[in-house]
């Protein structure tokens, strides 16, 4: 099984190199030659593991997206109430954005450029289902505002991406307090029974 392990290592090195280079200078400045060099591999070797550049990027996206959702739901169980469940998932996502900064940066770039194929993007969203289920239940129970999942995502999860990018650019620091404040803002934006004024 030595051979198989070496293959896995090489594939991982290529994916890691792709993330790193795309993060540093964008998709347009991550040529195959540089990806190969970063992964300590010949350019030709990439084509043993991936069909081409588009495939490499797509597969990297799927890998990272999967890593993201696995992390997000690792501590979540369905047997808790809506707010607790949401809170647990939210904080895990926040933790991911902070700890797995490279992966999170890569995803934020993928989500906003046409560098990923549409089919692949759809595939990547599938693993988010537990959160959507939670929201559905929350809406049925009258705890969460009856908003589209996209709106709920836009106001609770997506701001974390924005803040993470800002932090990475060095213009802003996400402290523990900032994160707690952000959670409150997130929950306030979607919970029902807001006493206005």
Binding footprint of DNA on the chain (CB under 7 A): 2-3, 6-7, 10, 29-34, 40-48, 52-54
Nearer to a second copy among residue 11 and residue 89 (C-beta):
89
Q: How many residues does the chain have?
A: 197
Which CB atom, from 25 or from 70, has the smaller least distance to DNA? 25
Interaction partner, residue 111 (DNA, a second copy, none; CB < 5-8 Å by kind): a second copy
Minimum gap (Å) between residue 155 Cβ and a second copy: 5
Give me the least distance between CB of 67 and a second copy, in Å please: 19
- In whole angstroms, what is the distance from residue 35 CA to residue 81 CA? 46
Residues of this chain that bind a second copy (CB under 8 A): 24-29, 108-109, 111-115, 118, 145, 147-148, 150-151, 153-155, 158-160, 162-163, 165-166, 169, 171-172, 178, 181-182, 184-186, 188-190, 193-195, 197
Report in angstroms the alpha-carbon separations of 60 from 43, 83, 92, 108.
17, 33, 22, 13
Burial class, 71, CB count within 10 angstroms (exposed 0-12 / middle 13-18 / buried 19+): middle
Q: How far is CA 122 from CA 48, 118, 155, in A?
A: 26, 6, 20
Whether the Cβ atoms of residue 110 and residue 116 lie closer than 8 Å to each other: yes
| Residue 138 beta carbon to a second copy: minimum distance, rounded to whole angstroms | 14
Closest CA to 45 of 1, 9, 3, 11: 11
When CB distances are held under 5 to 8 angstroms depending on the partner's kind, the choice from a second copy, DNA, none that residue 84 binds is none
């Amino acid at each position: 099984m030595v051979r198989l392990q070496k293959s896995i290592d090489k594939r991982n090195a290529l994916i890691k190199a792709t993330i790193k280079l795309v993060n540093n200078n964008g998709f347009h400045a991550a040529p195959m030659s540089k990806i190969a060099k970063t992964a300590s591999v010949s350019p030709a070797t990439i084509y043993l593991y991936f069909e081409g550049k588009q495939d490499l990027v797509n597969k990297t996206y799927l890998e990272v997206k999967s890593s993201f959702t696995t992390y997000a739901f690792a501590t979540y169980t369905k047997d808790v109430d809506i707010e607790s469940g949401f809170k647990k998932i939210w904080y895990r996502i926040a933790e991911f954005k902070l700890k797995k900064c490279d992966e999170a940066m890569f995803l934020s770039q993928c989500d906003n450029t046409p560098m990923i194929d549409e089919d692949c993007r759809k595939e990547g969203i599938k693993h988010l289902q537990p959160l959507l289920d939670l929201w559905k239940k929350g809406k049925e129970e009258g705890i969460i505002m009856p908003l589209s999942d996209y709106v709920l995502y836009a106001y609770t999860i997506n701001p974390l991406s924005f803040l993470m990018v800002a932090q990475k650019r060095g213009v802003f620091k996400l402290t523990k307090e900032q994160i707690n404040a952000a959670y409150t803002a997130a929950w306030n934006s979607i919970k029902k029974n807001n006493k206005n004024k």
